[in-house]
Structure 1
Amino acid sequence: MSRRIPAATTGRVDAGLNRGSTAAFAKPDRRGLRPCRTDLMYLDTADALRFTPAATSAPQFRPGLISLPALNATISRLWSAGLRPRPVLEPEALLARAVRQIGVDNFGEAGQWRALLECLTSALAGANLSPIGEIVAESQLTGALAARLRARAIWRANPEIAALPITAPIVIIGQMRSGTTRLQRLLAADPRLDHTRLFESWLPIGSARPSRLDLRRARAALWLAGTRAINPGFTVIHPTAAGAADEEAGLLGVTMCSSQYEIQWRVPDYARACETIDREPVYAEFKALLQITRWLRGRTAAADRPWVLKVPQFSQDLAALLKVFPDARLLCLDRDAATTLASSTSLVHNQMAMQSDSVDPQWIGGEWLHKMALRDRIRRDVLATGGTPYLAIDYAAMDHDWRAELYHIYDFLQIPLPGPVIDRMAAFLSRSGARHQHHYDLAQFGLDPDRIRTRLAPA
């Protein structure tokens, strides 16, 4: 059920991060993209998942208090009447918008991040975005670029940040919808460990200095309320809150290499670029963003706390992640592949249906089967080298006896697990409330268990 590579066999490779500046990029190719150095390429307890093996209709977008078609129609009328400007999803326009927000214009070297921004905006032109999709895309990309400006200014003005440790992080590795959020939030109940809060990821690098008053939490809460009013299905699929432990996809968004964009928009060219570039500079920047996040917390941040990190994208970037975090300890989750993919495609459809005028479930099925196979292969190949300690964790075992699995995990981490911490975890699960029904149907996405098993079978 679980296995580990002993720490004594672990090899370490220096990530080579230049701590005197923002994360360095190597020389790009003509497109600005560095070649890949290797071909290796909410709560889930609230996800009472029901798998239906056959489909008779396309998946439906669940309407909310605010009608999505009516909202899109209203936005279109405002644009047509010249009462509101239509978003311009071009690199120069987005960069200029970010500069106006922050008041500085020093983005630094136009390395991979700029090439990826150009690739993403080019792909968005063919993503068939709805009016609300265009607004969300402009807001997210402007926010990521503004955070990039602010992070660079903070890093240059406060060189001591480079010395803040991100020591022996606990990295949760697993496919999307494989139980990673449940494990992350259980570990977040332990006050001896650190974690990223949703508002810190959705609205990264919110100020220029530590402050007790952080308005990002309130902004994230309002954003969540608006999302629920338009898209209540999101609450069923991924229950969360502004201050809840959540994944660091927003920090990766600042690097412009983030699967959060792939989940929302049909951008396959951008997805392939993120899979094939050298991701080591991406994770060097990611580490710097974590250090800035820790610094912005001020006295509330205990620098010696191990940070629990979780993004499904880590699986496809595992080789690069381990170069930047060579002392990482991996918790690797596995769940039945057909069930995992059915739940994943349902989530992606939910996100795309909110932001696109036309969503193809069959395309989503094929694209995310590719993503699952890629991530599964990379994880398998990287772990087979024997250079990193890891613990394999089964989703069903967590369902059966989460306490027993947590004791296994803490034994692997060599951290005591006292009764009061277990009590905090149990209280957290109790507060999570009733299990929601997330219905999904594999056949709606042109998939069946046999096809999935064949695609995921080791070569």
Structure 2
Amino acid sequence: MTGATRKRDADPIGIHIADLHNPVLSAAQQAALDASSTIPIAFSMDAVLDTARAETGLDDFGSDDFLERLAIWLQALAEDENASSVTRFNMFQMTVRFAATRLRLEDLVKRHPEILGIEIDRPIIVAGLPRSGTTHLLGLLSADTRLRSLPWWEAIAPVPSPGDEPTADNPNPRWTRADAGWKEMEAILPYMAIMHEFSADHISEDIELQALDFSSYLIEWLAYVPRWRDYYLSLDQTGPYAYLKKALQALTFLKGPNRWVIKCPQHMEQLPALYKTFPDATFVITHRDPVGSVRSQLTMALYAARMLRKKVDPAEPLGYWPARYEELLRRCVRDRDILPEEQTIDVYFDQWTKDPDPILREIYRRADLPLTDEALTALHAYLDAHEEKQTHRIVYDLERDFGVTADELRQRFGFYFDRFPVKPEVR
């Protein structure tokens, strides 16, 4: 495949983030911190649900089993003492958004009960480590227009609200809001766009839909919430995954087709619930040296800490993320064999980078979806376009930034290398 194997005209320019430990705040960063510090935030059930009711004019949240989860979610956020005012404001707003979206979704289903009869036909589901290339694979597969995917603008506002109707000046108000939000974040944390390509049209993880039932690992990425982590990991996720399917049914009703491609790294640690919910899916499990993924996440977390944490401390992400990745991978190793072999493909990063075409053909074969010349041309075009965009890259340095070597980090993942033929990358 020419899009994956061709040589670049020039290597990406390496960027060293010199002020990771002692950030030098820009005017935009300081202004955001100052503005958010004036807004009182109360992580209470009543505050979240009442705000969502007022925003939507609706009152029916559906089954109330989510209330216990929401209570723990909010308690964990309140206990994050090092959370900055920006984090507290953003987390409250995000929680209200999920509650309001749930109200809109329940209202839609109440008005159109036929939604619950819609078939989600043999979805292709990608799971793999965070920060390891699953986003790229999801975007690639979504270039096949026979598959339904979830762009970011739709993920954060899946059910249109009054005022979202197209106009001559604004054909998609939901897209416009998503674009403005991303540009605001990019202006405040500009290196984020290099670490993780994004836009309003970016194909999103389905975690935004899982969060409507207030049960996912999402808030772990935005705050330090060990109470929530332990609670979430103790839960049977069958119910929340059923709610994910309900959301996909609603989105299919609003705009088909019903053959989805979705992804979330969380699926790696929730394979039993995933398989029970989507028994006819094709499961694509990606594998890569976890040290590379952890290294990327540590650096991203430390960079974002200038806005999200009161005190910037490399020990904070180092004390959390390697152990969290280990738990995710241990569950994947434990449960991988529950997936039917004829519906599952393990994709290894070193093989993918050499020649992705045979892997794509195997994904399509297992999905019983013809890989037509037209589809293959679209996939190649996606790869070519996204290769060309990579003009800069962040330089990661574990020893300089976190005082740990790749080999030291890798020791805790021996069980994973024993189970899957993953090649170490980071030295």
Aligned length: 399
Per-residue CA deviation, residues 100-119 of structure 1 (Å, 9 max, x unaligned), is 001122223431x2222221
Q: CA deviation at 1:259?
A: 2.3
Q: CA deviation at 1:365?
A: 2.2
RMSD (CA atoms): 2.9
Per-residue CA deviation, residues 300-347 of structure 1 (Å, 9 max, x unaligned), is x123xx211111111111111111111121111111121121112223
Contact 2:153–2:200 (8 Å) recurs in 1? yes
Tell me whether 1:449 sits opposite 2:406 in the alignment: yes
Q: CA deviation at 1:449?
A: 2.9
What corresponds to 1:32 in structure 2? none
Q: 1:233 to 1:260 in 2, by over 3 A?
A: farther
Amino acid of the structure 1 residue aligned with 2:190: P
Amino acid of the structure 2 residue aligned with 1:162: L
What corresponds to 1:182 in structure 2? 136
Q: 1:208 to 1:326 in 2, by over 3 A?
A: farther
What corresponds to 2:248 in structure 1? 290
Q: 1:169 to 1:359 in 2, by over 3 A?
A: farther
Amino acid of the structure 1 residue aligned with 2:76: A
Matches within 5 A, 1:62-101: 66-76=27-37, 79=38, 85-101=39-55
CA distance in 2, matches of 1:350, 1:193: 35
Contact 1:116–1:257 (8 Å) recurs in 2? yes
Q: CA deviation at 1:188?
A: 0.7
Per-residue CA deviation, residues 174-210 of structure 1 (Å, 9 max, x unaligned), is 0001210111111011111111111122233333899
CA distance in 2, matches of 1:442, 1:178: 17
Q: 1:102 to 1:338 in 2, by over 3 A?
A: same
CA distance in 2, matches of 1:62, 1:292: 45
Q: CA deviation at 1:61?
A: 5.7
What corresponds to 2:285 in structure 1? 332
CA distance in 2, matches of 1:138, 1:99: 15
Q: 1:317 to 1:60 in 2, by over 3 A?
A: farther
Contact 2:284–2:344 (8 Å) recurs in 1? yes
What corresponds to 1:437 in structure 2? 393
Which of 276, 288, 296 matches 2:234?
276
Q: 1:210 to 1:131 in 2, by over 3 A?
A: closer
Matches within 5 A, 1:401-416: 401-416=355-370
SS in 2 for 1:381: helix
SS in 2 for 1:194: coil
CA distance in 2, matches of 1:428, 1:284: 32
SS in 2 for 1:320: helix
Q: 1:125 to 1:48 in 2, by over 3 A?
A: farther
Q: Scaled by the length of structure 2, what TM-score is found? A: 0.85
Which of 380, 399, 402 matches 2:353?
399
Contact 2:15–2:393 (8 Å) recurs in 1? no
Question: Going by fraction, where is helix more abundant, 1 or 2?
Answer: 2
Matches within 5 A, 1:129-168: 129-168=83-122
Q: CA deviation at 1:238?
A: 1.1
Contact 1:175–1:340 (8 Å) recurs in 2? yes
Q: CA deviation at 1:261?
A: 1.1
What corresponds to 1:371 in structure 2? 324
CA distance in 1, matches of 2:13, 2:349: 13
Q: CA deviation at 1:448?
A: 3.1
CA distance in 2, matches of 1:209, 1:383: 45
Tell me whether 1:192 sits opposite 2:146 in the alignment: yes
CA distance in 2, matches of 1:445, 1:50: 19
Q: CA deviation at 1:56?
A: 10
Which of 231, 246, 250 matches 2:189?
231
Amino acid of the structure 2 residue aligned with 1:283: Y
Q: 1:353 to 1:115 in 2, by over 3 A?
A: farther
Q: CA deviation at 1:357?
A: 1.4
CA distance in 1, matches of 2:366, 2:237: 28
Q: CA deviation at 1:157?
A: 1.8
CA distance in 2, matches of 1:442, 1:210: 45
What corresponds to 1:360 in structure 2? 313
RCO (CA 8 Å, sep 6+): is it higher in 1 or 2? 1
Contact 1:162–1:288 (8 Å) recurs in 2? yes
Q: CA deviation at 1:402?
A: 2.6
Per-residue CA deviation, residues 361-380 of structure 1 (Å, 9 max, x unaligned), is 22312322122112212222
Q: Scaled by the length of structure 1, what TM-score is found? A: 0.80
Q: 1:321 to 1:351 in 2, by over 3 A?
A: farther
Q: CA deviation at 1:410?
A: 2.2
CA distance in 1, matches of 2:369, 2:21: 44
Q: 1:186 to 1:48 in 2, by over 3 A?
A: farther
Contact 1:279–1:320 (8 Å) recurs in 2? yes
CA distance in 2, matches of 1:63, 1:428: 36
Amino acid of the structure 2 residue aligned with 1:157: R
What corresponds to 1:256 in structure 2? 214
CA distance in 2, matches of 1:437, 1:451: 24
CA distance in 1, matches of 2:348, 2:28: 40
